[in-house]
Amino acid sequence: MNTAQIKELPAAKSLFLADGVKKDSLKKPFIAIVNSQCDIVPGHIHLGKLGEEAKKGVIAAGGVPFEFHTIAICDGIAMGHEGMKYSLPSREIIADSIEAMIKGHGVFDGAIFICSCDKIVPGHLMAALRCNLPSVFVTGGPMMPGSRNGKGMDVKDSFAAKGALEGKKITPEEYEDIICNSCPGAGSCAGLFTANSMACIVEALGFSEGMCATTHAITKEKGIQAFNAGAKVLSLIKSNTRAKDIATKDAFMNALRVDMAIGASTNTILHLPDIAKEAGIIITLDNMDEVSKSTPNLVKISPSSSFRMIDLHNAGGIPAVLAELSKKNLILNTKTIDGKMLERIKAAKITNTEVIHTIATPYSQTGGISILYGNLAEKGAVIKSAGVGITEKVFDGNAVCFDDEDSCSKYIESGKVKKGDVIVIRYVGKAGAPGMPEMLYPTSAISGLGLDKDVALITDGRFSGATKGISIGHVDPEAALGGNIALAENGDKIKIDLEKKRIDLIISDKELAARRTKLRNKMKELPEGMLKRYRKNILEQNKGSN
């Protein structure tokens, strides 16, 4: 049964009339306005206004808009306590709820997705591909940087301030001043953290209009983009261009190129394969590593430099990055919501080569994210190489092991951390924690103590996009699934070789095997609820794979 037939079902027709839809409008295209607006998350507090603009745009283009909302967890607010375990699982709830609303009602001809931030944008993308309607994205836009003593700031400065205060590097008054000035208002945090990284991915896939990812939250241009989405989705309906027509294998390759070129958050490595899977496309860590090897790193934005999203926007945004990559034929001519990618970027250019390097003068010839392998991560681990501030490519140190984030944070706060430590945080992966919480407090505390070049952190959890330094996450297999990270002991030598892309526990295979015979899983029991169901699902997915 098609959407026109559903609209004419007697009860459905009666209920749409009760909604206020005029009888002659039942024949018009129905457009879902999927909005993640809420009053909790700064990246979402302004999305209600964008939803209103999108509705106006739909009506002006001849459609009928229907808005509904999804949940949104702010990783910054969830960080450092049990709430962080809910963040990644919420992605599945978001995707499922959108699928339920769109497919459950069955009347939508197209959809506009208005969203922002870490798990929310991936959840919307996954749902868009499941539903496979003509789809347009309007990402909410970055927050303006904060300012203190004439210097730009963002949320990572707040995180780092805690470690600096505990290390007596700043006063309590300076701490409060930093906290009060880091985040000035609406928008996703001002650096190239996961939220803005995912917005850049959306634009590179072709789901949002050019410059959407870097157009800031509180600007008239962002409202215009929301209004324009109405005409764009109606145009896609007319040409029957659906989400999977845009999200092709080539489009994902473009997204990966941009990901590597801008040195985005390591969390994109977590999300992109799962998003692609919804389109029937397989992306592996090996695929990502191959793209990284052949993609120059052109951009370093906070936390990898003092530049922020406003600087990237003013320098030409993602179109300029795509145009620069296209000079070496690294960008494929995919479909976008308003045409073809190479046509879109034809006139794009860099206006500040300090912010966006040219293809001839990149920061490095390889991408800003690297995949490491070794006996500590047999299936791979991820590091934001663009954020590593060391000239040496090899780091040797001694393991200091923790089975949860809290005990690690207490160790750092106590002042015991020292140069040469390789801090290992395990049993915090998808199954172990569960929910793979981000480890921004430990990394920020290390940074706040000025040790981010001298101390490495390794985890089967993940790091925030605001993390910098020698921070290696996504270790696979995770400890809860029997990965060798569970076998590391205090004092073990660990070698990280960024050039060879290796991460190894320097002990013999015989010793590893002996330790494995004594290994006992340290996963904590969980009460009934979504986290228990999430863990069960992860364990089922990994049955027999380790």
Outline where 296-391 has alpha helix (H).
309-314, 317-326, 341-344
- Interatomic CA distance for residues 506 and 528, integer angstroms: 40
* One-letter amino acid for residue 227 of the chain: F
For residues 113 and 275, the answer to whether their CB atoms sit within 8 Å is: no
Q: Which is it for strands 151-153 and 502-505: parallel, antiparallel or unpaired?
A: unpaired
- Given 3-state DSSP classes, what are the helix, strand and coil percentages for the chain, each rounded to the nearest 5? 45, 15, 40
Among residues 461, 381, 356, 457, the alpha carbon closest in space to that of 412 is found at 457
Phi first, then psi, for residue 138 (nearest 5°) are -125, 100
Tokens of 258: 């941009």
- Residue 453's nearest CA partner among 475, 425, 421 is 421
Do residues 431 and 480 touch, judged by C-beta distance below 8 A?
yes
Amino acid at 424: V
> Among candidates 379, 344, 318, 366, which has minimal Cα distance to 503?
379
State residue 292 phi and psi, 5-degree precision: -60, -40
36: nearest Cα among 65, 66, 68, 69:
69
Helices (H) and strands (E) in the chain, counts: 21, 16
188: annotated active-site residue: no
CA atoms within 13 A on the CB side of 9: 12
| Residue 479 contacts residue 458 (beta carbons within 8 Å) | no
Catalytic-labelled residue, pool 135, 265, 292, 464: 464
Provide the b/e sequence for 312-329 (b: ≥16 CB within 10 Å): bbebbbbbbbbbbbbeee
Contact indicator for 142, 186 with CB cutoff of 8 Å: no
Instruction: Supply φ then ψ for residue 445, to 5 degrees.
Output: -65, -40
Rounded to whole angstroms, how far apart are CA atoms 225 and 229?
6
Per the CB < 8 A criterion, the answer to whether 99 and 214 are in contact is: no
Cβ of 438: how many Cβ atoms within 10 Å? 32
**Which residues are designated catalytic?**
464
